[in-house]
Amino acid sequence: MDASDEVARGLTDIEGFLYQEAHLEAARRRVADFTARSPGLTEQQKTDIERWYVAEQKHVARLVTEHIADSIRAAEEQHRIGFGRWLRGTLIAMVLITVAMGVCVTVVLGTLG
């Protein structure tokens, strides 16, 4: 891996981290707004609800990420299979053309001699 690949990977990692932190910060704001509008909750209850909600958001984000990764893997596998079929077909066609050309050359040389 050269330096430009490492830089690109690092930028991707930073982008992912910043996206995750922005998502979690938005979740914290949403749950803080919710608990602030809920009268009768003790500070401990508010803290418990906020902790649970943020943990739930992390869990959901992980599930979504895994689903996307699985979908990408499935698409890549389908592409690999399709490419393999295309490659086999191309190879067979090349072999048939080569054999046909060989037959044609043999026929032409046979009629000349």
Q: What is the pLDDT of residues 89-98, one digit of tens each?
A: 999 999 999 9
Q: What string of H, E and C letters represents the secondary structure of 67-84?
A: HHHHHHHHHHHHHHHHHH
What pLDDT, in 10s, does the model give residues 29-84?
999 999 999 999 999 999 999 999 999 999 998 999 999 999 999 999 999 999 99
Residue 11's domain spans which residues? 3-112
Structure pTM? 0.64
Angle between helices 3-36 and 43-112 (to 10 degrees): 150
Q: How confident is the model at residue 3 (pLDDT cuts 50, 70, 90)?
A: confident
Give the per-residue pLDDT at 112: 86
**Confidence grade of residue 8 (pLDDT, cut at 50, 70, 90):** confident
**Exposure on the CB side of residue 3, measured as CA atoms within 13 A:** 0
Which is higher by pLDDT, 113 or 110? Answer: 110
- Give, as one character, the DSSP assignment of residue 33: H
Which pLDDT score, from 0 to 100, does residue 88 have? 97
Q: Which pLDDT score is estimated for 4? A: 84
Q: If we measure between CA atoms, which residue out of 22, 24, 44, 26 comes closest to residue 35?
A: 44
- Number of domains present in the structure of the chain: 1
